[in-house]
A and B are shown apart, each in its own frame.
Chain A
Amino acid sequence: MKELKKLISRSDELTRRMFATRAAQAMMGVGIGSIMTRQALAADPRIQARIQAAESGDNTASTGGSGQTAKSVIYFYMSGGMSHLDTFDTKPGAETQGATKTIKTAADGVTISEYFPKLAKQMNNVALVRSITSTQGAHEEGNYLMHTSYNPRGTIKHPCLGSWAVKMKGKMNEALPGFVLVGGGGRTVTSGFFENKFGPAPVGNPGTGLRNSNLAFSEGEFNDRLKLADSFDRAFRSKYRQKQVESYTDLYKEAIDLLKGEDIKAFNIREEKESVFQSYGNNYIGQASILARRLVEKGVRFIEIDYGGWDNHDNIFGGIGQRCNQLDQAMGALIEDLSSRGLLSSTLIVVGTEFGRTPRINERRGRDHHPAAFSGLLAGAGIKGGQFYGKTDERGDRVAENPIKIPDFNATIATAMGLNINQVIYSPSKRPFQVANRDGKPIQELLNV
């Protein structure tokens, strides 16, 4: 016991205070020695085959289904709390429905709101989850729980799903970040107690790509400047032959390589044809989806797209249609595009949100926070499409059938990715955690792995 304690407290100290600060890797995730791999990958048309080869050594859980697990995930996060009644769980004829109408989809018996005509056509690839229930009715807490499977605590910061994915499965393309966050995201989308390198590389605006990745001057000029910096610094560097000093030197090499390399172009959606923008929609969510597809092609593990504007306390029917339509166009195009490129069978698409909205329409024609019942969406790799799971009552108020909790939803995503939900990872403070909390159970009916 004492030995164990010593060992753990020592390794804690080492990992947290020393190794972590010295590891020459980070959220951009360009690892030392990755230059060759990166260039090889970029030049190699068989990149997918290589990714698959890397994957086959994966020693993670499988529940024995026929489909393959997801290599990449594109997670659409609807921040603000997306109304279930006006999207994936309509209640035609109910007094709580308001102005939103219901349409049929390509899948028998599955309906959806009128704002999702394109998704309706893809419904055979899509499963709707209509029975998520939670007790977190505040944005931040709900958002945190949805991303991490844990309630927020004052003494620990939990990693979000994307960080778990990279931590447990590693990266597929060493030259690019394993986890990219598009748009906002804020304080819940972080690597938590994992090292920084498992955190998201943020892309604020999908139209402009990765921060500071366009060199402001010519390559010749760049080389001159580097040479000058090097000559100023030679004495210092030879005086202090220390890991952290040297790792910066290495990172300069990596950064130069990244800037001059090919894969960085994945972040530049302007390389796409005009017709692509027309099909996805040339707006934020359309551009973000195009970027996500480009990153999936290059082997990025997890892309989260933050899409706000769902906190419709006022006049919900005034704006939700347009918001949904843009999402519908982007997702419809994305599924079609991935499918035609043969990537849908290895890419999982998720729609999640922190809570639903009240069936009762308030005095301001809006809907308020409603964690008791809400919806999500799963599509693509690892998922049996063409169905819905769970039911709410006729008002859309409470879950009537097959209730699931947020950790169950996340356990389903994790299982579709082939993550072992029983694997325990210890925080530096020596506390045990699991990707879908201790009790998250995957929804077997939805899984095809």
Chain B
Amino acid sequence: MNPVSAIADGKWLRLGAVLFVALPLFAASVSAAPNDESTGKKGIDSVSYEEIKAKARDIDSILQKAWQANGVSSNGRIGHDTFLRRTYLKLGGRIPSVEETIEFLKRPNRAGLIDSLLESDAFVSAQFNFWADLLRIRNDQEGLGLPYIEFVKDSIRKNKPYNQFVKEMLLASGYTWENGAAGYYMRDYQMPLDNMSNTMQVFLGTRMQCAQCHDHPFDKWTQMDYYQLAAYTYGVETRLDANQQPKGFADAYKQSEGNRELRDQIRDSFGDMDRGVAVNNTDIKLPFDYKYDDGKPHQAVKPRVIYGEDIVLEKDTGENRVKALANWVTSDKNERFALVYANRLWKQAFGMGLIEPVDDMTDETQAVIPELMTYLSKMMVELKYDTRQFLRVLYNTSAYQSQVNRKDIEPGEPYYFTGPVLKRMNAEQFWDSLVTLTIPEPDARKAWFGGEQARVNAFRQYKNKSAGEIIAAAKKGQGMMMMGGNGGNDPQGNDPRWRGYGEHLRRASELQSPANLGSFLRQFGQSDRDVIDNSVDDPNVSQVLEMFNGRMFEEVTSPDSLLSKNMSKYSRDRVKVLFLSILNREPSSEELRFTAKILAGRSEKSGYSAVIWALLNTRQFSFVE
């Protein structure tokens, strides 16, 4: 029997659970990210499930010991529907579609779902949001944010080992449109000291910024430590002078010497060519008000790491300094490197770090379960910083597959991870879930920034031009014109899947970073991407107003939305479709009664609109259980 006609025939309800078996057409619609052969990307099964499961069991047994020692016990295993929704939201960044829901509940294979989500485009989107918040990635950052965004997404898609990913950023040079990783330094344009503080906080969970101006009041770092460390990357230049720019530009500027008008024209057209990363041999100097005995104001400082073995540079050049720092940060011997990332990924899965805050560690910092933290750090190294395999282990633990905490975890009170922590969806999960209700195949709809693409194209085109060509273009104001243009057509512009759906109906990772102030995403707490890890899940009234009256509600209930289409597709089981779409579970008989009551005596449109409104305005919808 054709399952679609079964539904159309209205046999769904009558067939009950049998129906789920009869739905082979809903093959996992989470599409796998394309394999990239050139990078030798390995599939998820490059590590055997048995090996993963063994590690998951190790974690569970460490946890059990901790529970026994502290007189607590597991929160209890979750049902398949809760597992499905939770895992989609955490690994895929959105709720599952109705078809994905049905498919899984029909044949619930938890390990299989974890694997397919880890290899999906949805995973790339969710992890990008995580990194965009940590790295403060902005579309409007100096030297163009777009190529940096692409670099990060591409690194996630290829499952680049974490240590390599970090190293590529720390070693990046050139223009972002040649090497997206250069966006890492460009993000702190002309602020090399701040960049050092950020490197320490993001990758090593260590706060150094206080020591920029004076000895750290709450940690052991001195201002001298800070300057010695900053000395490694102080030679990294984010603004290139004329002779560091491509030859044609250097020549053009030379030719314009004494001709102010021409120089202004070149600058007007191609001024942005000075936004790029180059490394020189500049020494850092102590500030004018340096007040400690171990140095004098304006004194040059040589690089030195703040912990671990001293590094001896074979030849003391700017480039070698940067290399030395990148090696030191990402080394297996640097215990904070693997630990910080392991703790951050634990927090993704469980909602809270074993160490909190995750980025303010001192010598006295202790994880709530030290043995587990040690195990995870070692596992990170053992798995060669493979993000997907690491997460695969965590999601296969029975601790992860347990119920969330019932009561609040009071500040200062230890939580022994008897299950994950109940959290409100973050802004991106919220938005992406509404998008999932509105358009088909949301993961496949990619970002398109025409104006920025035009600039990238123009830069690439002019990079190798001669001085003569550059000057001619500048006189016509050409560079500017091209850069203000559009970068061709959106390759998905005519895709029939999304015909008629607004441009903004894309996943958060495919929209401008950050979204505009006052937008849905920002109201729900998306990071402003100005400060590390700045997203919040504070409740506020404007969120509630958005759920009452907002534009997104109109989109979800519009006749063109995926939800509306699914309702007419499965017209005899609309209520069930609504529950499976929005809460990803079947309605209870009591809920069916409530719903029937509302639907009775109303027009169809008003009735279902009220039910959708009510479902979206539940805590069940907005929390990740």
- With A26-B539, A232-B620, A239-B406 already in contact, the answer to whether A13 and B218 are too (CB < 8 A) is no
What is the 8 Å Cβ interface bit string for chain A, positions 23-38, against chain B (1 contact, 0 not)?
A: 1111111100000000
How many A-B Cβ pairs are below 8 Å?
Answer: 189
Closest residue of B by beta carbon distance from A30:
B541
CA distance A19 to B412 in the complex (A): 12
Min distance, Cβ A16 to any Cβ of chain B, angstroms: 8
Closest residue of A by beta carbon distance from B591:
A232
User: Which residues in chain B, 387-428, are within 8 Å of chain A measured between CB atoms?
Assistant: 404-408, 411-412, 422, 424
Q: Name the B residues within 8 Å of A231 (CB-CB).
A: 591, 594
Closest residue of B by beta carbon distance from A431:
B210
- With A21-B536, A26-B539 already in contact, the answer to whether A187 and B209 are too (CB < 8 A) is no
Q: Is B357 an interface residue (CB 8 A)?
A: yes
CA distance A23 to B209 in the complex (A): 28
Q: CB within 8 A of B518: which of A22, A26, A211, A241?
A: A211
Q: Is B50 an interface residue (CB 8 A)?
A: no
B interface size (C-beta, 8 A) = 64
Q: Is B610 an interface residue (CB 8 A)?
A: yes
Question: Judging by beta carbons under 8 Å apart, are B191 and A196 in contact?
Answer: no
Q: Name the A residues within 8 Å of B539 (CB-CB).
A: 24, 26, 244, 247-248, 251
Q: Name the B residues within 8 Å of A13 (CB-CB).
A: 356-357, 411
Question: Judging by beta carbons under 8 Å apart, are B536 and A225 in contact?
Answer: no
Q: Is A341 an interface residue (CB 8 A)?
A: no
Min distance, Cβ A100 to any Cβ of chain B, angstroms: 25
Which of B218, B422, B540 is packed against the most chain A CB atoms within 10 Å?
Answer: B540
Question: Judging by beta carbons under 8 Å apart, are A196 and B591 in contact?
Answer: no
Closest residue of B by beta carbon distance from A23:
B538
Q: CB within 8 A of A154: which of B197, B422, B528, B538?
A: B197
Q: CB within 8 A of B544: which of A23, A197, A248?
A: A248
Min distance, Cβ B204 to any Cβ of chain A, angstroms: 15
What is the 8 Å Cβ interface bit string for chain B, positions 420-448, against chain A (1 contact, 0 not)?
A: 00101000000000000000000000000
Q: Name the A residues within 8 Å of B591 (CB-CB).
A: 231-232
Question: Judging by beta carbons under 8 Å apart, are B549 and A214 in contact?
Answer: yes
- With A229-B615, A232-B591 already in contact, the answer to whether A224 and B530 are too (CB < 8 A) is no
Question: Judging by beta carbons under 8 Å apart, are A202 and B194 in contact?
Answer: no
Min distance, Cβ A59 to any Cβ of chain B, angstroms: 28
Closest residue of B by beta carbon distance from A250:
B539
Give the contact stretch, choosing among A66-74, A90-98, A254-262, A284-292. A254-262
Q: Is A228 an interface residue (CB 8 A)?
A: yes
Question: Judging by beta carbons under 8 Å apart, are B218 and A5 in contact?
Answer: yes
Q: Is A242 an interface residue (CB 8 A)?
A: yes
Q: Name the A residues within 8 Å of B548 (CB-CB).
A: 212, 215, 255, 259
Q: Name the B residues within 8 Å of A212 (CB-CB).
A: 542, 545-546, 548-550
Question: Judging by beta carbons under 8 Å apart, are A14 and B614 in contact?
Answer: no
CA distance A261 to B175 in the complex (A): 55
Interface residues on A, range: 35 or more
Which of B537, B543, B546, B614 is packed against the most chain A CB atoms within 10 Å?
Answer: B614
Question: Judging by beta carbons under 8 Å apart, are B188 and A154 in contact?
Answer: yes
CA distance A247 to B517 in the complex (A): 24
Min distance, Cβ B221 to any Cβ of chain A, angstroms: 13
Min distance, Cβ A378 to any Cβ of chain B, angstroms: 27
Min distance, Cβ A8 to any Cβ of chain B, angstroms: 7
Question: Judging by beta carbons under 8 Å apart, are A154 and B542 in contact?
Answer: no
Closest residue of B by beta carbon distance from A362:
B264
Q: Name the B residues within 8 Å of A244 (CB-CB).
A: 422, 424, 537, 539
Question: Judging by beta carbons under 8 Å apart, are B540 and A9 in contact?
Answer: no
Question: Judging by beta carbons under 8 Å apart, are B536 and A196 in contact?
Answer: yes
Q: Is A46 an interface residue (CB 8 A)?
A: no
Question: Judging by beta carbons under 8 Å apart, are A224 and B598 in contact?
Answer: yes
Give the A-binding residues of B (Cβ under 8 A).
187-188, 191, 194-195, 197-198, 201, 207, 209-210, 217-218, 261, 356-357, 360, 404-408, 411-412, 422, 424, 517-518, 525, 528, 530-531, 534, 536-546, 548-550, 591, 594-595, 598, 606, 610-611, 613-615, 617-620, 622-623, 625
Give the B-binding residues of A (Cβ under 8 A).
5, 8-10, 12-14, 16-30, 153-157, 185-187, 190, 193, 195-197, 201-202, 204, 211-216, 221, 224-226, 228-229, 231-233, 236-237, 239-245, 247-249, 251-252, 254-255, 258-259, 363, 429-431
> Can you sample 19 A-B contacts with CB below 8 Å?
A5-B217, A13-B411, A14-B411, A21-B537, A26-B538, A26-B540, A26-B542, A196-B538, A201-B542, A202-B518, A211-B545, A211-B546, A212-B548, A225-B614, A228-B614, A240-B619, A240-B623, A244-B424, A430-B218
Q: Which 9 A-B pairs have CB atoms at the shortest separation, nearest pair first?
A: A26-B540, A154-B194, A28-B541, A229-B614, A228-B614, A212-B545, A255-B544, A212-B549, A233-B618
